[in-house]
Amino acid sequence: MFAGHLLDQPDSDMWDLTPPDAAFEAERHGFAWLDDLAAVGDAPARARAARWTWQWIDRYSAGRGPGWTPQLTGRRLIRLITHAQMLQGGQDRAACDTLVQTLGQQALFLRDRWQAAAPGLPRIEALTGLVLAGLALDGMQEQATAAVSALGREADTLIGTQGALESRNPEELLDIFALLTWTTAAQADMGQTPPAQLAAAVARIAPTLRLLRHADGALARFHGGGAGMEGRLDTALAASGSKARHAGGSAMGYARLSAGRTSIVIDAAPPPGGTGAAHASTLAFELTSGRRPLIVNCGPGASFGADWRRAGRATPSHSALVIAGASSALLGTGAEAGWLARGPVDVPVRLSQASDGQRFEGGHDGYVSRFGLTHARTIEMVSGGRGVAGEDMLLALSQADKRRFDDTRAGAWPAGLPYQIHFHLHPDVDAVPDMDAVSLELRSGEVWVFRTGGAVEMTLEPSVYLENARPKPRACKQIVLTATALRYASRIRWSLAKTQDTPISIRDLAQDAPDPDPDSV
């Protein structure tokens, strides 16, 4: 399965398949599938890896075709060099020489073309491939020296002083971090010292990724990024050797609350500019308890097509407040189609200590121009992570805002401006309404109870969970709180609490039972 497409043709080789789209074709030529076959590691997997590799060499090694871009060539070289020993096992001398020859050919291509890769992850991939090829191949050491210097400069430019990416995509930051740590490890194996710029970029990224890491080891899912492959984040952090953390509890526009087995990550900044993958997710949050995600966002839907990608970027697809079904930032039109516009600009945030834990306070003005209302959100986590209390407010702050709110109400919503707060639940959460509450049971056996108060309608509704590794969106549930704004200040309070304390010493090692139909919506 590549780029969300599952082709089941067991009697065909990979290169005989007709790719359903360009993204599928790119994943084929990027050779990341070698990692999967190497992970299986048995004789059939090794034989298949070698067969598909030499088929590619026979068909595409002439330097033409869809796989010959700097980014894909760099990605492919990384895998071919990393798994060269596996690929050469059982091959004759001529086949091994052919592999080495194509590695050199691709390295020369990158030497001349890496600058044509787009700045960011594509260029980092191209340069990493060139560095590894230069270190591994005879006669290429000079190229490795030049490439690693260029990689250090690119990383220094790309990674901000606080270890941040402009795109604010956590998974993209992890991809870059893994490549940089890969390079520094390869240099160390050769007895070389990485450039200061490269080492400094790694040191800046590590604390940011640690802040974006949920209690289960997965990344927070925002702005086009997924949770990441299981274990990849912890492996990369361990390889970096950095144990630093951000002292203030915020980085790259995100805020973190954590205690005991519970972690919360909040989108605490305006949507990023300069990217067509930004989400209208300001003040949305995710909550994980131990190894089990509880409150989530729907996630990136790009692998399921344009419609799912667009839906995944909207505010209702996040655990956030929504006014009249409108996103806090809107997709542009015309030449700006795909880019977010009219979104939050002013997003004040404060992290502090509460009487019995930690407190996040934030607000955004994404709805002011349309409705005259500012959204303010407070989230408190008690010591030990046993409970979370939240409050969402809509406020008309200035006289101009009050006039806009009055005009809006007098027009389309004379009975009150409707708004909702969404709490998307992970598919593994078993949600059961119980009087004025919702009981949430995790597969670990832990039970949380969600409550709200006041003149609020609470419903349990369908939702979806979008994962790149699955062929279809997964069905799940969401708790939705519905109310109307009748005055210049409206407020909804809600809470999440465990029914009993979970000792930190208890580890959730139970194997997950497969869903009857885990890929159906």
Q: What is the pLDDT of residues 462-508, one digit of tens each?
A: 999 998 878 789 999 999 999 999 999 999 999 999 988 665 555 56
- pTM of the predicted model, to two decimals? 0.92
Whole-angstrom Cα distance, residue 304 to residue 496?
32
**What is the per-residue pLDDT across 346-357, written as a single tens digit (0 to 9) for each?**
999 999 998 889
Identify the CA nearest to 148 among candidates 103, 113, 179, 116: 179
Q: In this structure, are residues 193 and 185 in contact, taking their beta carbons and an 8 Å threshold?
A: no
Angle, in degrees to the nearest 10, between helices 170-189 and 232-240? 50
Whole-angstrom Cα distance, residue 122 to residue 71?
5
Give me the pLDDT at residue 98, please.
93
The DSSP output letter for 5 is: B
Q: How confident is the model at residue 403 (pLDDT cuts 50, 70, 90)?
A: very high
Q: In this structure, are residues 284 and 267 in contact, taking their beta carbons and an 8 Å threshold?
A: yes
- Say whether 506 sits in a helix, a strand or coil: coil
Whole-angstrom Cα distance, residue 452 to residue 438?
10
Exposed, middle or buried: residue 435 (CB in 10 Å: 0-12, 13-18, 19+)?
exposed
Q: Which residue has the higher pLDDT, 368 or 89?
A: 368
Amino acid at 296: V
**What is the per-residue pLDDT across 180-220, written as a single tens digit (0 to 9) for each?**
998 998 888 888 888 899 999 999 999 999 999 999 999 99
Q: In this structure, are residues 123 and 159 in contact, taking their beta carbons and an 8 Å threshold?
A: no
Amino acid at 30: G
Q: The tokens of 493 are what?
A: 């309070």
Q: In this structure, are residues 425 and 294 in contact, taking their beta carbons and an 8 Å threshold?
A: yes
**What is the per-residue pLDDT across 30-65, written as a single tens digit (0 to 9) for each?**
999 999 999 999 999 999 999 999 999 999 998 888
Q: Any bridge partners for residue 321, and if so which?
A: 421
- Say whether 489 sits in a helix, a strand or coil: strand
Q: In this structure, are residues 148 and 198 in contact, taking their beta carbons and an 8 Å threshold?
A: yes
Identify the CA nearest to 174 among candidates 225, 215, 127: 225
The yes-or-no verdict on residue 332 having pLDDT over 80 is no
Q: In this structure, are residues 172 and 225 in contact, taking their beta carbons and an 8 Å threshold?
A: yes
Whole-angstrom Cα distance, residue 113 to residue 103?
15
**What is the per-residue pLDDT across 59-94, written as a single tens digit (0 to 9) for each?**
999 888 889 999 999 999 999 999 999 999 888 899
Cite the beta strand spans of 415-473 per DSSP E: 417-425, 430-434, 437-441, 447-452, 457-465
The yes-or-no verdict on residue 293 having pLDDT over 70 is yes
How confident is the prediction for the chain on average, in pLDDT? 91
**What is the per-residue pLDDT across 106-163, written as a single tens digit (0 to 9) for each?**
999 999 999 999 999 999 999 999 999 999 998 888 888 999 999 999 999 999 888 9
Q: The tokens of 216 are what?
A: 């289960």
Extract long-range pairs of 403-406: CB within 8 Å, 24+ residues apart.
Answer: 403/372, 404/368, 404/371, 404/372, 405/371, 405/372, 405/373, 405/485, 405/488, 406/372
Dihedral angle sign, alpha carbons of residues 134, 138, 142, 145: positive
* Phi/psi at 293 (5° precision): -65, 140
Dihedral angle sign, alpha carbons of residues 138, 142, 147, 148: positive
Extract long-range pairs of 62-65: CB within 8 Å, 24+ residues apart.
Answer: 63/105, 63/109, 65/29
Give the position of tokens 């953390």: 245
Torsion, CA 379, CA 341, CA 330, CA 407, rounded to 10: 80
Exposed, middle or buried: residue 64 (CB in 10 Å: 0-12, 13-18, 19+)?
exposed
Q: How confident is the model at residue 520 (pLDDT cuts 50, 70, 90)?
A: very low
Whole-angstrom Cα distance, residue 57 to residue 29?
11
Exposed, middle or buried: residue 485 (CB in 10 Å: 0-12, 13-18, 19+)?
buried
The yes-or-no verdict on residue 334 having pLDDT over 70 is no
SS3 string, 188-234, reads HHCCCCCCHHHHHHHHHHHHHHHHCECCCCCECCCCCCCCCCCCHHH
Whole-angstrom Cα distance, residue 387 to residue 498?
6
Question: What is the bridge-based pairing of β-strands 474-485 and 374-382?
Answer: unpaired
For 455-471, b/e burial (b = at least 16 CB within 10 A) is eeebebeebbbbbbebe
Cα first-last separation, the chain: 19
The yes-or-no verdict on residue 521 having pLDDT over 70 is no
Whole-angstrom Cα distance, residue 119 to residue 157?
10
Whole-angstrom Cα distance, residue 303 to residue 357?
39
Exposed, middle or buried: residue 71 (CB in 10 Å: 0-12, 13-18, 19+)?
buried
Exposed, middle or buried: residue 31 (CB in 10 Å: 0-12, 13-18, 19+)?
buried
The yes-or-no verdict on residue 382 having pLDDT over 50 is yes
Give me the pLDDT at residue 519, please.
45
Q: Which residue has the higher pLDDT, 332 or 403?
A: 403
